[in-house]
Amino acid sequence: MCGIVGYIGKKEALPILIKGLRRLEYRGYDSAGVAVLDADNVTVKRVRAVGKIDTLAEKLKAETMAGTVGIAHTRWATHGGVTEDNAHPHTDCSGAVTVVHNGIIENYRELKKRLSTKHVFKSETDTEVIAHLIEAHYKGDLRLAVEMALTHVQGTYGLVVMHRDSPRKIVAARLGSPLVIGVGDKEYYVASDTSPMLAYTQQVIFLDDGEIAELTDSEVKIVNHHDQKIDKHTEQIDWDEAAAQTNGFAHFMLKEIFDQPTVIKDALRGRLQVEEGTAHLGGLNMTEEQMHKVRRVILIACGTASYAAMVGKYAFERLAGIPTEIDVASEFRYRDPIIDPHTLVFGVSQSGETADTLAALREAKRKGAYVRGIVNVVGSTMARETDGGTYIHAGPELAVASTKAYTNLIAVLIMYALQFGRTNRVTVATGQRVVNAFLEISEKMTRALKTSAAVRQIAEKYRGYKNFLFLGRGINYPVALEGSLKMKEISYIHSEAYPGGEMKHGPIALLSPEFPVVAILTKNQLYDKMRSNIEEIRARKAPLILIATEGDEDARALADDVIFVPQTMELLEPIINTIPLQLFAYHMAVLLGKDVDRPRNLAKSVTVE
Ligand code: G6P
């Protein structure tokens, strides 16, 4: 969702801001804008545009925007339509205050009504009230004015502000919407995540809720809402600019699909114990005694992460024998969940910023559960708010549709299940089987990726269809769900996913030669059951694409098209079997001319409820 970049230093701000906005494009947006403060001439220039950054960049060609202080924004509309007037940055009445904001100001209607007697509003946004509030409180000290203004505000914000009369200063404030400060050599960056600053620095300070930062040419000063100074550590992040490039691939999504065999090794590294047949995830922060007392596991997530969590449920129940539920975060938080001190709750999230997942975890914590995070983005809110947990080490994932984070989330969830399982019912031998299967998984993923050209041909053949049904059973049911989600997200083709055995309870009515089915029929304990479901499809003459195990010649005879994947231990099958489905959605979207990395209406990181 919305993205923020700010810069203060010696360099020209505009190129840094525009490059930064491009780095944030992946989050999803529908308009963009930039403002640069020229200290020599004491002027602020602002340019905004509806649509892509390219449109903004085109518009900027006709402008000169000199200055070494500036802020910029990509907006994903919430309050007010997608118009230039509603695009950020927003200003006060005179144009002295310039503001960019992520989040939602809940009481903006009351504030606007009150301010309207003396202030002139130019947009329909909630954000604009902040600019006018700061104007009302400004008496020469921008930080104090922001602090005062925020005392009137209810809601969430990641906020970055400039003032024409404090020309060598930027003020940033955070409550519920992330902000990171990049520390350079006598220069500072501020952004909603680290990606815009990776080209310049890997030294960062993560702002926490309730903190306000004042950036000048020579220092960062961080205070709380009572203006008391807070000492913060500068942290070194290990993601670099190279990891955030397409590296010759046509899209980020394709690059990220092909990253998977490499980044899964990063997730596994140092965590598998071959001799002991177990995994050790230090971030769990629980003693064996506490682990023994866990009676229930709840996995909370949204979107793709929730399908990874579904695989985690199978793993926890099969290996650890602990009843495990998956809850979609937006449901969990309003459902009065039953939680006791023997409940272990994991938040499962690529970004670590998904608003519903964060709120659900806070609710679980309030009710006394152990709360842990399984997260990709280092320093994200979830990583910081939970009492432990694990990074999945997938590296920056910039395509909106999640791929490599999904497989790494699964790997970490299975490792957790193994770690718990080895404290109760899993033998060394069984544990070693899981560990050994993990040790071979990267090479098998590479083999699964070799299907890409064949999958593209299948996509060519099926590109005219308007609907698909995805089917899987057992641990491959989440794979079907994820395959269907990928198809919807990036190719906008309608698809549904069902457990194979449930098909005859409704969806079978849809089947016809116009309604293709993608089914996962790999060699596992449910092979024969799934095969029976496939016969039912054949009888209805629906075109059939199968994901089958290498060497299964029967599968070839059954289906119109088959994609063969390497066999692995059943528990790890989703890591392999999802790959051709990711590729299928990708090739389909490319063939249909869709914006693969930035699909319409979607945001990478959903930071509002
Ligand atoms: C958005 C994204 C999805 C993602 C979901 C959860 O809807 O478009 O790709 O799966 O959020 O995100 P998270 O960062 O919590 O995994």
Complete domains list, the chain, with CATH: 3-244 (3.60.20.10), 252-446 (3.40.50.10490), 452-591 (3.40.50.10490)
| DSSP notation for 106-131 | TTHHHHHHHHTTT----SS-STHHHH
CA-409 nearest atom, ligand 1: 16
585's CB contacts (< 8 A; 6+ apart) are: 401, 483, 486, 487, 489, 490, 491
For 240, the token pair is: 């670099």
Mean per-residue pLDDT for 411-437? 97
Helix (H, G, I), strand (E, B) or coil at 176: strand
| 42 — pLDDT class (breaks 50, 70, 90) | confident
Hey, which of 102-106, 239-243, 486-490 has the most confident mean pLDDT? 486-490
**Strand pairing partners for 494?**
467
Q: Are 520 and 480 in contact (CB under 8 A)?
A: yes
For 422, the token pair is: 């080895």
What are the Cα distances from residue 255, in Å, to 393, 447, 536, 588?
16, 16, 37, 16
Alpha carbon nearest to ligand 1 atom 1, residue = 604
d(CA 158, CA 2): 10
Query: Mind listing the pLDDT tens digit for each residue in 444-459?
Result: 999 999 999 999 999 9
Kindly state if the Cβ of 351 falls inside 6 Å of ligand 1: yes
- Count of CB atoms within 10 A of residue 228's CB? 8
Kindly state if the Cβ of 349 falls inside 6 Å of ligand 1: yes
Q: Residue 353 Cα, ligand 1 centroid: separation in angstroms?
A: 9
Query: Mind listing the pLDDT tens digit for each residue in 344-374?
Result: 999 999 999 999 999 999 999 999 999 999 9
d(CA 259, CA 244): 12
Q: Are 387 and 359 in contact (CB under 8 A)?
A: no
pTM of the model: 0.85
Mean per-residue pLDDT for 505-511? 92
Lowest mean pLDDT: which of 102-111, 416-425, 472-481, 599-608?
Answer: 599-608
d(CA 347, CA 298): 9
What are the Cα distances from residue 113, in Å, to 96, 108, 117?
21, 8, 7
> For this structure, is 313 an active site residue?
no
The predicted pLDDT at position 337 comes to 86
**Predicted confidence (pLDDT) at residue 334 exceeds the cutoff of 90:** no
| 79 — pLDDT class (breaks 50, 70, 90) | confident
Q: Residue 306 Cα, ligand 1 centroid: separation in angstroms?
A: 9
| DSSP notation for 280-332 | --GGG---HHHHHH--EEEEEE-HHHHHHHHHHHHHIIIII---EEEEEHHHH
Percent of the chain at pLDDT exceeding 90: 87
d(CA 131, CA 124): 13
The DSSP 8-state label assigned to residue 604 in this structure reads S
**Pairing state between β 220-223 and 157-163:** unpaired
Kindly state if the Cβ of 303 falls inside 6 Å of ligand 1: yes
d(CA 472, CA 493): 19
113's CB contacts (< 8 A; 6+ apart) are: none
CA-303 nearest atom, ligand 1: 10
Q: Which of 335, 340, 301 is nearest to 323 (CA)?
A: 340
d(CA 470, CA 460): 18
Going 408 to 485 to 377 to 381, the CA torsion angle's sign is: negative
The predicted pLDDT at position 248 comes to 84
455's CB contacts (< 8 A; 6+ apart) are: 563, 580, 583, 584, 587
**Predicted confidence (pLDDT) at residue 255 exceeds the cutoff of 90:** yes
559's CB contacts (< 8 A; 6+ apart) are: 534, 544, 545, 546, 548
CA-351 nearest atom, ligand 1: 14
| Mean of per-residue pLDDT scores for the chain | 94
**Predicted confidence (pLDDT) at residue 606 exceeds the cutoff of 90:** no
Nearest-10 crossing angle of helices 404-423, 573-591: 170
Q: Residue 47 Cα, ligand 1 centroid: separation in angstroms?
A: 30
Phi (first) and psi of residue 255, to 5 degrees: -60, -40
Query: Mind listing the pLDDT tens digit for each residue in 199-211?
Result: 999 999 999 999 9
In Å, the largest CA–CA distance within the chain is 79
What are the Cα distances from residue 239, in Å, to 52, 189, 200, 400?
26, 16, 12, 18
Percent of the chain at pLDDT exceeding 70: 100
Going 354 to 350 to 86 to 69, the CA torsion angle's sign is: positive
What are the Cα distances from residue 147, in Å, to 103, 127, 501, 556?
17, 16, 58, 67
| Per-residue buried b or exposed e for 507-518, using 16+ beta carbons within 10 Å of the residue's own CB | bbeebeeebbbb
Reading phi first (left if > 0) and then psi (alpha if -120 to 50, else beta), residue 76 is in beta
Mean per-residue pLDDT for 175-192? 94
| 602 — pLDDT class (breaks 50, 70, 90) | confident
The predicted pLDDT at position 25 comes to 86
For 566, the token pair is: 């390497």
Mean per-residue pLDDT for 147-169? 96
Q: Residue 352 Cα, ligand 1 centroid: separation in angstroms?
A: 9
For 530, the token pair is: 């799934």
Alpha carbon nearest to ligand 1 atom 3, residue = 303
Substitution site in 26, 354, 607 for ligand 1 pocket (most atoms within 8 Å of beta carbon): 354
Alpha carbon nearest to ligand 1 atom 2, residue = 604
Q: Are 415 and 281 in contact (CB under 8 A)?
A: yes
Query: Mind listing the pLDDT tens digit for each residue in 9-33?
Result: 999 999 999 999 998 988 888 999 9
The predicted pLDDT at position 607 comes to 78
Phi (first) and psi of residue 128, to 5 degrees: -60, -30
d(CA 172, CA 188): 12
The predicted pLDDT at position 237 comes to 86
Kindly state if the Cβ of 304 falls inside 6 Å of ligand 1: yes
Q: Which of 436, 406, 435, 405 is nearest to 422 (CA)?
A: 435
Q: Which of 2, 52, 255, 404 is catalytic?
A: 2
> For this structure, is 604 an active site residue?
yes
For 99, the token pair is: 């503001």
Alpha carbon nearest to ligand 1 atom 7, residue = 303
| DSSP notation for 458-484 | HHHHHTT-SEEEEEE-GGGHHHHHHHH
